[in-house]
């Protein structure tokens, strides 16, 4: 976490605790303003804090808050923060952090009913005492229940993005051991779930090197980032490993720090990581077993039973042979296995059981056993265009040219520049005049780079869908854009009816190509809109609008189940990275995994089309 985030977090926490103690609104606001000012700084606050004048020159920072910032930079904390923390229970702040619950309510719960934890809040809902508070009806209580459920999930699970980074780091470290033949992540990570409980990493050692298992496990326990060895044996270890969510605008926030996943000495959130060494001839069986899902495995084992076979993490065996081996008292540690029907690779297991090979992302017992003629799932390498990207003109970190060169380096034939529209003021949305100039700029970069690299750079916009469903620019301006991504950004608590009407109106707009992050949800953070998806997909099909899977791991919107619904409804899909910074291109894999969880095939994803087909499709709306 950067110092800026730390300082901003402390100031915000001071403001919250003051509010909970019923302090003067003016002081509360001063700390909130200072917190936002620090969070928004492009410079390092630790450097700025060398000069009190420099701090005071910043809008939102006053003499008192300047001193606290200097104190925080020098000592790592603020005395007032520590004093307030002693007075306000952590649980009360967790309650305040629930979306939709304000300080007045949290304070009343605490002061009147003594509620200072989720447990007590749940009890007060159960015994009806919460209802005695002012403005606390059934609707408000339902909202609190929903928010608590989301917070409980947050405490135990991790976004796939940061978890992926940890898994890759661990795999990279362990690969350095010369005896490793195979090493891969299994579990929910391999299935591409939007959140991951723990990491399951499987290793097989080269033939003749099996005795190195213990050394490899010892190496795993000593890796950088390991904060705790929960257990370690000859062939497996359970570790807690630091999750580095830094470097992204979502990462390292306070809520994650306060969650149960934090180590006692609080270096930041950690994820449980199970490393298992399995025999090379069982690697496929172990991958199958530990990839799950549990529901999928239950079905598959039953199918094996029906065919007189036993399926376990060591392989697929003839029932009689396995039982005989078992009753002879041989230990199933993998060193002494009977002859298997299959087990070295997953494909062999599914083939022997006469089940069409399901992609890991499909293994949720959602119809994968009924597939007769498998279709090829979309793959990362199929994606040839990025159609939702931001530049320094709004809130992106790259210029048009940098963005386009990166897209070309990724092997894309097309990149669409879609900066924010005027209503997104915080994101630096473009007023119509600036957009007109920006279109010209994009076109000149296109002229240059198309000649040099052959890439097509399109001028577009991510246009806000306003509360009533109208778009944020007039039609004559929209018509000048090569690509229009229409997205909801504000008023994300609208009811289903209003949200459905709003999004339908955008889909029906003849100049819209793509509906961006349709619900506006943030994984484990914000529920977003809950429109009638069936109606949206039907309209999208009718009006030839692509529904976006926003690939950022914090969004993944459409989500997997929505994708499945959209595929069945027959509308086209876009998978976009919503690029703001260079590393955002890497999020594409999460969008593709979500697509695969929704059984998407490449042909109905517009980003896989060749340049000619894609450009013709875009022009059909002009
Ligand atoms: P997570 O970690 O909560 O995100 O979800 P998973 O799916 O990674 O679950 P996890 O880590 O508990 O176990 C990994 C896989 O191992 C799971 O998908 C299926 C398999 N597995 C683990 N324990 C059992 C079990 O008791 N029975 C069966 N059938 N499978 C299990
Ligand atoms: Ca797991
Ligand atoms: Ca596990
Ligand atoms: Zn957006």
Inside any domain, residue 284: no
**Is the shortest distance between the CB of 179 and ligand 1 below 6 Å?**
no
Mutate to test the pocket of ligand 1, among 194, 200, 304 (most ligand atoms within 8 A of CB): 200
In a domain, 518, yes or no: yes
Burial class (CB in 10 A: 0-12, 13-18, 19+), 617: middle
Rounded to the nearest angstrom, the distance between the alpha carbon of 204 and the centre of ligand 1 is: 19
**pLDDT of the residue at 331:** 67
**Average pLDDT across the chain, whole number:** 92
For residue range 541-560, list pLDDT tens digits in order.
999 999 999 999 999 999 99
Pairing of strands 158-159, 195-196: antiparallel
Q: How far apart are CA 407 and CA 1, in angstroms?
A: 29
Note whether 603 and 538 are same-domain residues.
Answer: yes
Q: 351 CA to middle of ligand 2, Å?
A: 25
Is the C-beta atom of 313 inside 6 A of ligand 1? Answer: no
Tell which residue, 587, 418, 553, 597, has the closest CA to residue 573.
Answer: 597
In a domain? residue 283:
no
CATH number assigned to the domain comprising residue 113: 1.10.150.110
> Tens of pLDDT along 203-241?
999 999 999 999 999 999 999 999 999 999 999 999 999
Question: Does 558 sit behind a cis peptide bond, omega within 30 degrees of 0 on the bond before it?
Answer: yes
Give the pair of three-digit tokens for residue 565: 């619904």
Q: Which two tokens stand for residue 203?
A: 């290793």
Query: Domain end: 233, 251, 278, which one?
Result: 278
Question: Which domain-ending residue is among 116, 135, 153?
Answer: 153
Same domain, 495 and 542: yes
Task: Check: CB of residue 192 under 8 Å from CB of residue 167.
Answer: no
> Do 460 and 586 fall within a single domain?
yes
Dihedral sign (CA 17, 21, 23, 25): positive
Q: Is 105 within the bounds of a domain?
A: yes
Which protein residue's CA is at the shortest distance from atom 5 of ligand 1?
188
**Is residue 265 pLDDT above 90, yes or no?**
no
DSSP character string of 397-436: SS-HHHHHHHHHHTT-SEEEEEEEBTT-TTTTPBPHHHHH
Residue nearest atom 24 in ligand 1 by C-alpha distance? 294
From atom 19 of ligand 1, which residue's Cα is the shortest distance away?
292
Total domains, the chain: 4
Tell me whether residue 315 is in a domain.
Answer: yes
Q: What are phi and psi of 271, to 5 degrees?
A: -120, 135
Residues 440 and 581 in one domain: yes
Cross-strand partners of 241? 226, 271
Q: How sure is the predictor about 271, in pLDDT bands with cuts at 50, 70 and 90?
A: very high
User: How far is Cα 273 from Cα 326, in angstroms, rounded to an integer?
Assistant: 30
For residue 268, the model assigns a pLDDT of: 65
pLDDT value at position 523? Answer: 93
In the prediction, which pLDDT does 327 show?
78
Classify residue 265 as exposed, middle or buried by CB count within 10 Å of its CB (0-12, 13-18, 19+). exposed
pLDDT in tens, 136-174: 999 999 989 988 887 776 667 999 999 999 999 999 999
- 451 shares a domain with 407: yes
Q: Judge if 110 and 253 occupy the same domain.
A: no
Residues 605 and 470 in one domain: yes
Give the dihedral of Cα atoms 257, 260, 265, 270; nearest 10 deg: -70
Closest ligand 1 atom number to CA of residue 157: 4
* Ligand 1 neighbour 196 (Cβ under 6 A): yes
The response to whether residue 294 sits with its C-beta less than 6 Å from ligand 1 reads: yes
Residues 6+ apart with CB under 8 A from 499: 488, 529, 530, 531
198 lines ligand 1 (CB under 6 A): yes
With residues binned 3-state (H G I as helix, E B as strand, rest as coil), the percentages for the chain, rounded to 5, are 50, 15, 35
- Considering the domain architecture, whether residues 116 and 225 belong to the same structural domain is answered as no
Q: Which of 185-189, 269-273, 491-495 has the highest mean pLDDT?
A: 185-189
Asked if residue 142 and residue 10 are part of one domain, the reply reads yes
DSSP β-ladder status, 226-232 and 180-185: unpaired
Shortest-distance ligand to the CA of residue 167: 2
Taking 50 as the threshold, does the pLDDT of residue 532 lie above it? yes
Q: 258 vs 130, which has greater pLDDT?
A: 130
Per-residue pLDDT, averaged over 312-321, amounts to: 95
Mean pLDDT of 400-408: 98
- Read off the pLDDT of each residue in 443-448 and give the average, rounded to a whole number: 98
Q: Are residues 552 and 584 in the same domain?
A: yes
Which residues neighbour ligand 2 (ion) by CB within 5 Å? 187-188, 198, 200
Range of the domain at 397: 380-619
The pLDDT of 244-261, averaged and rounded, is: 38
Of the residues 343, 370, 397, the one at which a domain ends: 370
Q: Say yes or no: 353 and 396 in one domain.
A: no
Digit-coded pLDDT (tens) for 105-127: 999 999 999 999 999 999 999 99
* Contact 200 CB / ligand 1 (< 6 Å): yes
Ligand closest in space to the Cα of 311: 1
Q: 274 has which bridge partners?
A: 200, 238
Distance of CA 103 from the midpoint of ligand 4 (Å): 29
For 87-101, write each residue's pLDDT tens digit: 999 889 889 988 888
Q: pLDDT tens, 334-386?
A: 778 899 999 999 999 999 999 999 999 999 999 999 999 889 999 999 999 99
Residue 375 domain-assigned (yes or no): no
387 shares its domain with 461: yes
User: Which protein residue has the closest C-alpha to ligand 1 atom 15?
Assistant: 290
Is residue 273 in contact with ligand 1, taking CB distance under 6 Å? no
CATH classification at residue 226: 3.30.460.10
Position 579 in a domain: yes
Is the CB–ligand 1 distance for residue 285 below 6 Å? no
Q: Rounded to the nearest whole angstrom, what is the distance from the C-alpha of residue 390 to the centroid of ligand 1?
A: 39
Pocket test for ligand 1, best of 158, 160, 166, 292 (most atoms within 8 A of CB): 292
In a domain, 52, yes or no: yes
Measured in Å, residue 164 CA sits from the centre of ligand 3 at 15
Ligand 4 centroid from CA 487, angstroms: 6
Q: What is the CATH number of the domain that holds 314?
A: 3.30.210.10
């Amino acid at each position: 976490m950067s110092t800026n985030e730390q300082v901003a977090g402390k100031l915000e926490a001071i403001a919250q605790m003051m509010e909970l103690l019923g302090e003067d609104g003016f002081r509360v606001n001063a700390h909130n303003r200072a917190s936002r000012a620090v969070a928004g700084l492009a410079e390092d606050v630790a450097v700025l804090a060398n000069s009190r004048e420099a701090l005071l020159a910043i809008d939102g920072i006053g003499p008192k808050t300047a001193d606290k910032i200097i104190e925080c930079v020098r000592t790592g904390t603020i005395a007032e923060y520590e004093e307030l923390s002693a007075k306000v229970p952590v649980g009360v702040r967790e309650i305040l952090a629930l979306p939709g619950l304000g300080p007045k309510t949290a304070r009343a719960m605490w002061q009147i009913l003594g509620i200072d934890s989720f447990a007590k809040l749940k009890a007060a809902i159960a015994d009806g005492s919460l209802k005695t508070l002012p403005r606390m009806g059934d609707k408000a209580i339902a909202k609190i229940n929903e928010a608590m459920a989301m917070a409980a999930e947050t405490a135990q699970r991790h976004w796939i993005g940061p978890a992926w980074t940890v898994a890759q780091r661990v795999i990279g470290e362990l690969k350095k051991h010369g005896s490793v033949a195979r090493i891969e992540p299994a579990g929910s990570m391999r299935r591409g779930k939007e959140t991951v409980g723990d990491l399951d990493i499987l290793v097989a050692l080269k033939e003749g090197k099996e005795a190195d298992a213990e050394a490899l496990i010892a190496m795993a326990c000593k890796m950088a980032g390991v904060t705790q060895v929960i257990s370690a044996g000859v062939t497996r270890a359970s570790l807690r490993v630091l999750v580095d969510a830094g470097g992204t605008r979502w990462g390292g926030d306070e809520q994650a720090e306060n969650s149960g996943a934090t180590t006692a000495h609080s270096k930041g959130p950690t994820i449980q990581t199970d490393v298992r060494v399995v025999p090379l001839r069982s690697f496929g069986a172990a991958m199958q077993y530990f990839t799950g899902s549990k529901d999928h495995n239950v079905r598959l084992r039953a199918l094996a039973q029906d065919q007189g076979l036993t399926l376990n993490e060591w392989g697929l065996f003839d029932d009689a042979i396995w039982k005989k081996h078992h009753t002879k008292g041989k230990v199933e540690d993998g060193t002494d296995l009977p002859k298997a029907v299959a087990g070295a690779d997953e494909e062999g297991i599914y083939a022997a059981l006469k089940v069409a090979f399901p992609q890991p992302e499909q293994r949720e017992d959602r119809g994968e056993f009924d597939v007769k003629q498998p279709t090829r799932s979309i793959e990362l390498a199929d994606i040839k265009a990025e159609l939702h990207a931001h530049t320094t003109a709004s809130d992106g970190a790259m210029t048009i040219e940098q963005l386009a060169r990166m897209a070309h380096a990724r092997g894309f034939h097309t990149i669409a520049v879609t900066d924010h529209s005027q209503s997104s003021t915080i994101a630096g949305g473009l007023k119509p005049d600036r957009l007109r100039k920006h279109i010209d700029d994009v076109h000149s970069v296109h002229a240059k780079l198309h000649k040099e690299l052959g890439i097509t750079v399109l001028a577009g916009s991510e246009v806000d869908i306003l509360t009533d469903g109208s778009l944020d620019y007039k039609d004559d301006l929209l018509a000048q854009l090569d690509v229009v991504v229409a997205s909801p950004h504000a008023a994300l608590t609208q009811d289903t009816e209003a949200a459905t009407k709003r999004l339908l109106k955008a889909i029906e707009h003849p100049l819209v190509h793509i509906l961006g992050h349709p619900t506006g949800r943030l994984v484990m953070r914000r529920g977003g809109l809950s429109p009638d998806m069936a109606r949206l997909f039907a309209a999208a099909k009718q009006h030839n609008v692509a529904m976006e899977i926003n690939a950022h791991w914090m969004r993944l919107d459409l989500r997997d189940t929505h994708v499945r619904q959209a595929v069945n409804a027959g509308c086209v899909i876009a998978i976009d990275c919503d690029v703001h910074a260079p590393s955002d291109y890497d999020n594409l894999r999460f969008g593709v995994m979500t697509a695969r969880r929704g059984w998407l095939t490449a042909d109905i994803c517009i980003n896989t089309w060749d340049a000619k087909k894609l450009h013709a499709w875009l022009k059909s709306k002009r």
